[in-house]
Amino acid sequence: MENNLFLQFFEISVGQHLYWSFGNYQVHAQVLITSWVVLGILVFLSLFANQNLSIRPRGLQNLTEYFMEFIRELAKTQIGEVDGPSWIPFLGTIFLFIFVSNWSGALIPWKIIQLPNGELAAPTNDINTTVALALLTSLAYFFAGFQKQGFNYFKRYISPVAFLLPINVLEDFTKPLSLSFRLFGNILADELVIGVLISLVPLIVPIPLMLLGLFTSAIQALVFATLAGAYIGESLESHN
């Protein structure tokens, strides 16, 4: 009985969703619920860690300052010393949301909460979340280039020669596709592999793989934020 409950806890339902209706529109309720939880965790930690700032940081303040320094260096490396600092909030938000979302799938027992349909899981376990993050990144580098050069930004589509226009346009479609499916595929595959192994060899092989999953989840957040910074930097660099 206990073994069946353990296996049920790690069972993954693919393609089943709980919907909320808003007029003529339907949204995936479980994605909104888990996203709100992740955002709540981030807001709580940021407020709690920085309510009594000290010159000598300790505890959570030390952790938040480490993340800030990490994102600052990432922005400067990928975007540049001049434009990088202005994109720290965007890259930091993207990185922290994906990082906490990925880890929530492994550390938070979402399946304890029963839903009428579908199940709760990490927000990045849903393609809608990863596509939304990828589209935000696309809008960000379009905005960066347009803000820098105005309508001259669109000359890049016919550079160095005009017949490259279709290829350059296609590139802008492949970037968000690559970002979204890479993140979604890796997170979903990790949970599926752990679920299958637990059904075969409970408590023996899955534990090291779960720890490895935490590491790869952090790497996926870093990869997404790094590529987002690289795309923004490319959009700015080509017009400096």
Instruction: Pick the more confident residue, 206 or 159.
Output: 159
Q: The dihedral of CA 64, 70, 72, 78: what is its sign?
A: negative
Which of 46-60, 140-154, 212-226 shows the highest mean pLDDT?
A: 212-226
Enumerate residues 6+ apart whose C-beta is below 8 A from 238. 145, 156
Average pLDDT over residues 198-212: 67
Query: What confidence score (pLDDT) does residue 94 get?
Result: 93
The answer to whether the CB of 122 falls within 8 A of the CB of 34 is yes
- 2, pLDDT greater than 60: no
List phi, psi (to 5°) of 20.
-110, 135
Half-sphere exposure of 193 (CA within 13 A, CB side): 14
Q: Name the one residue in this structure whose structure tokens are 């987002």.
A: 228
Which of 93-102, 160-169, 185-194 shows the highest mean pLDDT?
A: 93-102
Query: What confidence score (pLDDT) does residue 51 get?
Result: 79
The pLDDT mean for the chain works out to: 80
Q: The dihedral of CA 225, 210, 64, 128: what is its sign?
A: positive
pLDDT category of residue 134 using cuts at 50, 70 and 90: very high
Query: What confidence score (pLDDT) does residue 8 get?
Result: 44
What SS3 state is found at 28?
A: strand
Instruction: Pick the more confident residue, 34 or 195.
Output: 34
Q: Which secondary structure element, helix H or strand E, spans residue 197, and what is its range?
A: helix 165-200
Helices 60-78 and 29-49 meet at what angle, rounded to 10?
Answer: 110
Average pLDDT over residues 208-231: 85
Burial of 204: CB neighbours in 10 Å, binned 0-12, 13-18, 19+: exposed
Average pLDDT over residues 3-17: 50
Query: What confidence score (pLDDT) does residue 136 get?
Result: 93
**Strand 25-28, strand 19-22: pairing:** antiparallel
- Give the separation between CA 106 and CA 99, rounded to whole angstroms: 11
Question: From the CB of residue 219, how many other CB atoms can be counted at a distance below 10 Å?
Answer: 12
Query: What confidence score (pLDDT) does residue 198 get?
Result: 66
58: left (phi > 0), else alpha (psi -120 to 50), else beta?
beta
What SS3 state is found at 119?
A: coil
Q: pLDDT exceeding 70 applies to what percent of the chain?
A: 85
- 6, pLDDT greater than 60: no
What SS3 state is found at 58?
A: coil
- 47, pLDDT greater than 60: yes
| Total-model pTM | 0.82
pLDDT category of residue 229 using cuts at 50, 70 and 90: very high
DSSP 59: T
Instruction: Pick the more confident residue, 67 or 191.
Output: 67
Query: What confidence score (pLDDT) does residue 97 get?
Result: 94
Q: What is the pLDDT of residues 179-190, one digit of tens each?
A: 888 888 888 777
